[in-house]
Structure 1
């Protein structure tokens, strides 16, 4: 995912985003770097998703504020606008991160392990957001290691283990044979393999 958004330099070739408006992608890393001591409330934090559209110095319009409120409602955080981000639980923070991605309004959405350390209710609510994106014909790419969740909730899978193992309908990809092959490749180590460089 970092290669797609330009945070890692490809070893060979280049990454080209086609179809997404202006090549924009929203990216939610596995561990977001957030200073929870910084005096920022939830509404302001979610509004940071608008910066590409409005810039760093323009104030929020009424439409922008409505977009933030709608995003907070979509993730179940209505009424949290004035809460400091440092007071949120892990699940509430993940909801706020999803709300920030919502206001970015991108055609390509990249999520790295977005369901780690959250409760069942939060999982259900965040899956509703992902289903909304799918209904809106957005491309959503999610990195997951929870195989049961993949099998039960996602229709298409790209199985990777150092290389592409299989791509297609989940039921046809998530077979015992494919999983065994992925395990074998994941456990192998190539001392001569090149490392990706951070950009």
Structure 2
């Protein structure tokens, strides 16, 4: 789906990772890991063309970037926005119907089904500012379900949510993957990555590793990343 050739993500001409070369295959499931400040979030934004790479090249199998559903970090979300759960989930239907088109019966049915699927059926009229961290994240996942995009990018999807909600959301991610969606997720839990993610991209300050989880995870020791990478 996406091929990187010596691509260097960064901001304002300043690189934040080493050059990356590799491929995200269609239907694959990849965890992006690494210490803080190694460019994980920047990479996701570069993959969906919110910002260009500092150097190198990114190409797409279909010739243009695939339709993507992006879940940013909770810290980047405005939780005081005057909207209900239904309003936010409804935003996921925009790519399929156009920003200024009305919502038909099929759209409404899909929105309601997604809200029920994440366990917020009784809260569909609830203002988003009243939701707990776990409920807010469930709502954002409902929006992902409505989007049903070929490419799903998740930036730390389990931050600020309880263990039960994390397990529930991980099940949803696996269901998306089983349905054929390509999943790329920034994560910090090695045990979770080992259980669920076949592919891993490890970003480091001086070099990066990309391949099977069983081969890459042994390199990742957050307290001694440089030593592990050079071993």
TM range (shorter): 0.7 to 0.9
2:184 & 2:77 partners in 1: Cα distance? Answer: 23
Q: Secondary structure at the match of 2:202?
A: strand
Q: Secondary structure at the match of 2:135?
A: helix
Pair 1:172–1:148, CA change in 2 (3 A): same
The answer (yes or no) to whether the contact 2:67–2:150 under 8 Å persists in 1 is yes
How far did 1:45 drift? 0.7
TM-score, length-scaled by structure 2:
0.72
The answer (yes or no) to whether the contact 1:161–1:185 under 8 Å persists in 2 is no
How far did 1:65 drift? 0.8
- What pairs with 1:69-88 in structure 2 (closer than 5 Å)? 69-88=112-131
Among 147, 169, 174, the alignment partner of 1:126 is 169
The answer (yes or no) to whether the contact 1:77–1:96 under 8 Å persists in 2 is yes
Q: Secondary structure at the match of 1:13?
A: strand
Q: Secondary structure at the match of 2:102?
A: coil
Matched, 1:93 2:126: no
After the TM superposition, which of the residue ranges 14-23 and 82-91 deviates more from structure 2? 14-23
Query: What runs of 5+ residues in structure 2 fail to find an aligned partner?
Result: 1-43
Match of 2:195 in 1: 152
Among 164, 178, 187, the alignment partner of 1:135 is 178
Q: Secondary structure at the match of 1:16?
A: strand
Match of 2:226 in 1: 184
The answer (yes or no) to whether the contact 1:21–1:107 under 8 Å persists in 2 is no
Match of 1:52 in 2: 95
TM-score, length-scaled by structure 1:
0.82
Pair 1:84–1:185, CA change in 2 (3 A): farther
How far did 1:144 drift? 0.9
Q: Which runs of 4+ in 1 moved over 6 A?
A: none
> Comparing both structures, which one devotes a greater share of its residues to strand?
2
Match of 1:190 in 2: none
The answer (yes or no) to whether the contact 1:42–1:84 under 8 Å persists in 2 is yes
Query: What runs of 5+ residues in structure 1 fail to find an aligned partner?
Result: 188-199
Indicate the RMSD between aligned Cα atoms, in angstroms: 2.6
How far did 1:31 drift? 3.3
Give CA-to-partner distance per residue, 1:73-131, whole Å, 9 cap, x none: 22121221111111100110011111111111101100011011111111111111111
Q: Secondary structure at the match of 1:159?
A: strand
Give CA-to-partner distance per residue, 1:125-180, whole Å, 9 cap, x none: 11111111111111000011222221233222222214322411x223212xx225
Q: How many residues align?
A: 185
Pair 1:185–1:94, CA change in 2 (3 A): farther
The structure with higher relative contact order (CA 8 Å, sep 6+) is 2
Match of 2:19 in 1: none
